[in-house]
Amino acid sequence: MNSDSETPNNGSKEVRELLRRPPSAIYRWLGDRIFAIVVVLLGFSIIALGAAMAIVLYGEGSLSFRQFGFFGFVSGTTWDPAVKLSFGALPFLIGTVVTSVAALLISFFPAIAVAIFTAEYAPRWLAGIIDNLIQLIAAVPSVVIGIWGIFVLAPWLRDTVYLPIFTWAETSYPALLPILGNPMGYGMATATIVLALMIVPYTTALTKDAIKSVPVEQREASRALGATKWEVIRMAVLPYARGGILAGSILSLGRAIGETMAVAMLIGNKNTLPFTIFGAGATMPSVIVNEFREAVESLHLSSLMAIGFTLFIIALIVNLAAAYLTRKFSVKGGQVL
Amino acid sequence: MKTMLQRNIRDRIMESLLVISTIVVLLPLVIIIVHVIVNGISALNWDFFTQELGSPSRAMQGRPTGLVHTILGTLVVDLLALLLALPVGMGAGIMLSEYPDHKLNPTIRVTNDTLNGMPAILKGLLAFVLIVKPMGSFSGLAGSVALAFVMIPIIARTTESALMSIPWSIREAGLAIGLPRWRVVLSTVMPAARFGLVTGTLIAFARAAGEAAPLLFTSFGNNYLPNHWLGMLLGPVDTLPQRLYSLAISPYTHWHSMGWAAAIILLLFVIITFGTARYLTRQKN
Amino acid sequence: MTITNVRVLLLCAVCLSAFTVMSCGRNGDTPGEMRQDRREQVDILGAGATFPAPLITAMADEYRDLTRNRVTVNYQSIGSGGGIRQFIEQTVMFGMSEAFLSDEVMRNVEQATGGRAFNMPITLADVVPTYNVPGIGAGLAFSGELLVEIFMGDITRWNHEHIRELNPDIDLPNLPITVVHRSDGSGTTNVWTSFLSRVSDRWREQVGFATSVNWPTGIGGNGNEGVAGAVQNTTGAIGYNSFAYALLNDMSYGSVINASGNVIEPSFEATSEAANIELPDDTRILFTNTPAEYGYPIAGFAWMLIYENLDANNAISNRREAGELINFLIWSITEGQELSNLLGFARLPDAAIEKNVQMIRQLKWEGELIGQEILDEQDLLSADRQ
């Protein structure tokens, strides 16, 4: 709905016409013009920011890409800054994929459960409190979760979960040992658990929105057919909310992929494949954090930037998918998490 | 065909599973907060707020140590970041909302949403290449720019939402009384949307305030207060999230307690900011 | 003004005053003292190895008091690799590294600045094997070969016969060994792997020695700090840390058998003894597996990296800053060394201090021998310091 036409075909003609008008009209026209230009420039700078990120990351990583080839780099399994000076990103790619997908799988049902509980079962006041607490999870800075992980969660997990499983496997099922790996507090498992906790709010929020937007007729129809409360949810509400659940999950995945600090502090920092369940690993963000300030060789630094670029591409794909789905299924204009 | 009893039992079971899941999800949060408070409270003394960090041997030598430079550095870097991010973010939001037919808009929206989801570490890398390398040193300015990169997409999105939620009639009314387009936006629409705008700003601020990764190779860290205010912008400066990380992975127990205390401060900061935003939103509704 | 506006203004006023109070509260200076020094204040930025960080930062604290807050040395421990990198990039005034600069880097610096890069030993790095085995305190004996086997992943249990052979009187449990290494580039790693490379051809060929290597096994910790933390949090772990970190943090560390076959318990004397050999003029030498009979075999220098042509370093803006840097440098290799033992570091042997002074004499600012000037002012002759 544009009540003002701001795109004249012939600029100078308009200016001449304008100059024939009273000064207040010039003030309007000039003001509008300047405002529009400023605003468009600022809007364009968003695009510039995105482009800059892509260009800079690729540019800085180009030394590595030229040396190993893009696919060579991405599929290389050795990360050796010392003897062989060979850099391959596959361990970190796998680390990122494994931890993020596993975190999503772990958090999926609990997150949806919370959404269902607050949307359908909890009394208003309780739903409000739970909502705020869930939002709080997303608000807690990653480093804070990291420091808690180092001093509380990792030792506890090691003593209460990993070591018993490890000792059991030792005595009853030794074949499992190579897959389990050495039970330390730090490692893929701990990092994944912490990730799962951190991404719950995203799935929950969008699922809850989707559930709330299910038309009341659907529920009433189920009720009329004699369904119990849970059956209404299962048969009428959840299928309808599929889109929101999907959007929330992909959003969660996107966050998990990019999560840096808590993972870097807990994942054990092992740059070689294969990974074991209890053993250490590394993800793309964690290796950048750990090695960036120390990289001496230009090839090393460039390889880290190249990993940044790879991370950018992956996050781009996942976020595009998430953004598309979120806009499609989101109820209000934006609950920005 | 299940009996009514069976179906009701299943209902009850599902309900309990839901409750259990909720508790399982919320329990760690409560545990984390309790641990942070319990472990950090003892280090929150007067020294903490007035002394600089100095060397890890200070405690051994009986000298006072604290994080005053970290708290001040955080405030300076974060506020500057907000100052840098507001015009860009709000400008973009205004463009998306007030000039909805502009052909750049779909691209801007997509780019913005994507940037929103990008890991903050990449924004830090960008700031490193754009600011640290040319400047030749780590600086608070680079840190602010990195955080601004984090804030801009959030502010753009929330501004767009806030402005779009203002009914078109307000704009029409403004135009009808003869205001130029730009006055309509600045003097009628934006004030009407001020709740949403402030909320969005607070959210962006809180999000960026908790980020550590982008600061590790931009503002870098400093064990002391820079000699001059300008030193905070032109030289390395300490910030809470980055310092928290360093303290946590150090082997000194007294540094660990300071880390927990820093976590309390950071948590308080973020919770209060987010809380205010949520409170404002609820007020409006 | 509405009530809300007044309240907001009051809040701002309170915040502003708190701000000002906090930033003035430094070290309890009176406003008079602070104003007087503020005009000449100099910030010296350095970065590098985590190992010497406790010593350097303590020196910085001490030096700051000595100069009445006039000179602040801000040292960030980001790893030796980082120190070298920032030195090359000229974002810091001095770097700190447990690995001396490679020939290639030295050449590049000469090309870029027309002057050399000086590696000046500031302190000694000694790396000890640290472990966390319940019931066993410090003093487990290790040989070079044994350490290679453990860090290669050949030995995975604490009660393996090779370990028991060297420690017949100790009851070792059947606990899995978790190897902990550095995940960042580090001179500590350089010293450690240099030793392993010298005692084992297999290690030298497969893994090599550098600030960062492709470890065959184990988990990584960030910085000396991260390794110490990981070892302490993991029962059955073995890692390597600087002696100072192990002492400062009450860790269990082992003794190592040196090239002469003696079991050397880590100590300041043993470390200084290891450096008691013939030194080249630029001090770029590794003395791991030292020929010194009672020297601790896993030791090396920690070098401060300085540009010969100080004006070529972008991080140094004027002659005064260069002068202050040199002052700090001189102090740190003389009076500053007093702090060493207290913090768990060995003192620089006189031979090293000698070489340092020679190098300081050659530091230049725009062609002028500024280092020599300052030394003359301070009347520093090696004969005086016996």
Q: What is the pLDDT of residues A220-260, one digit of tens each?
A: 898 898 888 888 888 888 888 888 898 889 989 999 999 99
Please report the pLDDT score of residue C5 as a whole number.
64
C82–A contact, CB cutoff 8 A:
yes
Read off the pLDDT band of A333 (50, 70, 90): very low
Read off the pLDDT band of A38 (50, 70, 90): very high
Question: How far off is chain C from A337, nearest CA to CA, in Å?
Answer: 28
pLDDT at A42 over 70: yes
CB contact under 8 Å between B138 and C226, yes or no, is no
A252-286 pLDDT tens trace: 999 999 999 999 989 987 787 878 888 888 999 99
Please report, as a single letter, which amino acid is at residue C185. Answer: G
Quote the tokens at residue B72: 């001040």
Cα–Cα dist A149/A267, whole Å: 10
The residue written with tokens 């959404």 in the block is A115
Q: Which residues of C touch A183 (CB under 8 A)?
A: 176
Q: Which residues of A touch C82 (CB under 8 A)?
A: 293-295
**Element (DSSP H or E) covering residue C46:** strand C42-48
Question: How far off is chain A from B168, nearest CA to CA, in Å?
Answer: 9
- Chain A residue with minimum CA distance to B103: A40
Q: What is the mean pLDDT of residues B24-50?
A: 93
pLDDT at A4 over 50: no
Please report the pLDDT score of residue A337 as a whole number.
40
- Chain A residue with minimum CA distance to B102: A40
Q: Which residues of C touch A291 (CB under 8 A)?
A: 183-185, 212
Question: How far off is chain B from C111, nearest CA to CA, in Å?
Answer: 19
Q: Which residues of C touch A154 (CB under 8 A)?
A: 233
Cβ–Cβ pairs < 8 A, chains A and B: 286
Cβ within 8 Å of residue A190, ≥6 positions away: A149, A153, A154, A157, A266, A267
The C residues from 235 to 264 touching B (CB cutoff 8 Å) are: 245, 248-249
Query: For testing the chain A interface, which of B16, B95, B202, B218 should be mutated: the one with the most A CBs within 10 Å?
Result: B95
pLDDT at A2 over 80: no
Q: Tell me the residue length of chain A.
A: 337
Please report the pLDDT score of residue C38 as a whole number.
52
CB contact under 8 Å between C78 and A294, yes or no, is yes
Report whether A315 contacts B119 (CB < 8 A). Answer: yes
Q: Which of A82, A185, A280 sits opposite C213 (nearest CB)?
A: A82
The A residues from 5 to 34 touching B (CB cutoff 8 Å) are: 6, 27-29, 31-32, 34
Please report the pLDDT score of residue C23 as a whole number.
55
Q: Which of C176, C208, C233 sits opposite A154 (nearest CB)?
A: C233
- Chain B residue with minimum CA distance to C221: B249
Average pLDDT score over chain B = 90
Please report the pLDDT score of residue C290 as a whole number.
86
**Element (DSSP H or E) covering residue C257:** strand C255-257
Read off the pLDDT band of A1 (50, 70, 90): very low
Read off the pLDDT band of C4 (50, 70, 90): low
Please report the pLDDT score of residue B140 as a whole number.
94
- Chain B residue with minimum CA distance to A256: B119
Q: DSSP 3-state helix, strand, coil percentages of chain C (rounded to 5)?
A: 45, 20, 35
CB contact under 8 Å between C218 and A184, yes or no, is no
Read off the pLDDT band of A117 (50, 70, 90): very high
C104-144 pLDDT tens trace: 899 999 998 888 999 999 999 889 999 999 988 888 999 99
- Chain B residue with minimum CA distance to A26: B180
What's the burial of B133, exposed, middle or buried (CB within 10 Å: 0-12/13-18/19+)?
middle
C297–B contact, CB cutoff 8 A:
no
A57–B contact, CB cutoff 8 A:
yes
pLDDT at A93 over 50: yes
User: Which strands form C255-257's sheet, in the order they lie side by side?
Assistant: C141-142, C255-257, C263-264
B149-204 pLDDT tens trace: 999 999 999 999 999 999 999 999 988 988 888 888 898 999 999 888 999 999 99
C68-90 pLDDT tens trace: 888 999 898 877 778 888 898 88
Neighbours of chain A (3+ CB pairs under 8 A): B, C
A156–B contact, CB cutoff 8 A:
no
Q: What is the mean pLDDT of residues B235-245?
A: 92
The A residues from 268 to 307 touching B (CB cutoff 8 Å) are: 285, 288-289, 292-293, 305
Report the range out of A160-169, B16-25, C36-45, C167-176 with the highest average pLDDT: B16-25
pLDDT at C362 over 50: yes
Query: For testing the chain B interface, which of A4, A24, A39, A157 should be mutated: the one with the most B CBs within 10 Å?
Result: A39
Please report the pLDDT score of residue C19 as a whole number.
61
pLDDT at C211 over 70: yes
Q: What is the mean pLDDT of residues B101-111?
A: 90
Please report the pLDDT score of residue A335 as a whole number.
42
Question: How far off is chain A from C2, nearest CA to CA, in Å?
Answer: 31
Question: How far off is chain B from A53, nearest CA to CA, in Å?
Answer: 6
What DSSP string describes B237-252? B--HHHHHHHHHTSS-
pLDDT at B50 over 60: yes
In this structure, of B7-16, B157-166, B247-256, C22-31, the range with the lowest mean pLDDT score is C22-31
C350 vs A8: which has the higher pLDDT: C350
Q: Which of C250, C239, C255, C273 is nearest to C346 (CA)?
A: C273
pLDDT at C29 over 60: no
Cα–Cα dist A246/C20, whole Å: 50
Query: For testing the chain B interface, which of A147, A204, A317 should be mutated: the one with the most B CBs within 10 Å?
Result: A147
> Chain A: which residues have CB within 8 Å of chain C?
78-84, 150, 154-155, 158, 166, 182-187, 264, 268-272, 279-280, 290-291, 293-296, 300-301
SS3 A186: coil
Question: How far off is chain A from C65, nearest CA to CA, in Å?
Answer: 30
- Chain B residue with minimum CA distance to A138: B207
Please report the pLDDT score of residue A82 as a whole number.
65
Q: Which residues of B touch C221 (CB under 8 A)?
A: 249
Cα–Cα dist C364/A81, whole Å: 34
Please report the pLDDT score of residue A166 as a whole number.
83
Please report the pLDDT score of residue C24 as a whole number.
52
Q: Which of C45, C228, C232 sits opposite B235 (nearest CB)?
A: C45
Please report the pLDDT score of residue C36 as a whole number.
45
Please report the pLDDT score of residue A6 as a whole number.
47
B194–C contact, CB cutoff 8 A:
no
CB contact under 8 Å between C75 and B226, yes or no, is no
- Chain A residue with minimum CA distance to B104: A44
pLDDT at A7 over 60: no
Average pLDDT score over chain C = 84
In this structure, of A190-194, B178-182, B215-219, C255-259, the range with the lowest mean pLDDT score is B178-182
pTM: 0.85
Q: What is the mean pLDDT of residues B133-140?
A: 86
Please report the pLDDT score of residue B1 as a whole number.
65
Read off the pLDDT band of B281 (50, 70, 90): confident
Read off the pLDDT band of A10 (50, 70, 90): low
Percent pLDDT > 90 in chain B is 60
Query: For testing the chain B interface, which of C11, C61, C250 should be mutated: the one with the most B CBs within 10 Å?
Result: C61
B97–C contact, CB cutoff 8 A:
no
Percent pLDDT > 70 in chain C is 88
Distances (CA, A) of A308 to A289, B120, B135: 11, 11, 22
Please report the pLDDT score of residue B29 as a whole number.
95
Please report the pLDDT score of residue A219 as a whole number.
87
CB contact under 8 Å between C23 and B222, yes or no, is no
Q: Which of A43, A139, A152 sits opposite B95 (nearest CB)?
A: A43
Distances (CA, A) of B224 to B62, B254, C149: 18, 18, 44
The residue written with tokens 């070591």 in the block is A163
Q: Which residues of B touch C26 (CB under 8 A)?
A: 51-52, 68, 225
Report whether C261 contacts C201 (CB < 8 A). Answer: no
* Bridge partners (DSSP) listed for residue C73: C44
pLDDT at A116 over 90: yes
SS3 C368: strand
Please report the pLDDT score of residue C25 as a whole number.
45
pLDDT at A5 over 60: no
Average pLDDT score over chain A = 85
Question: How far off is chain C from B149, nearest CA to CA, in Å?
Answer: 23
C221 vs B120: which has the higher pLDDT: B120
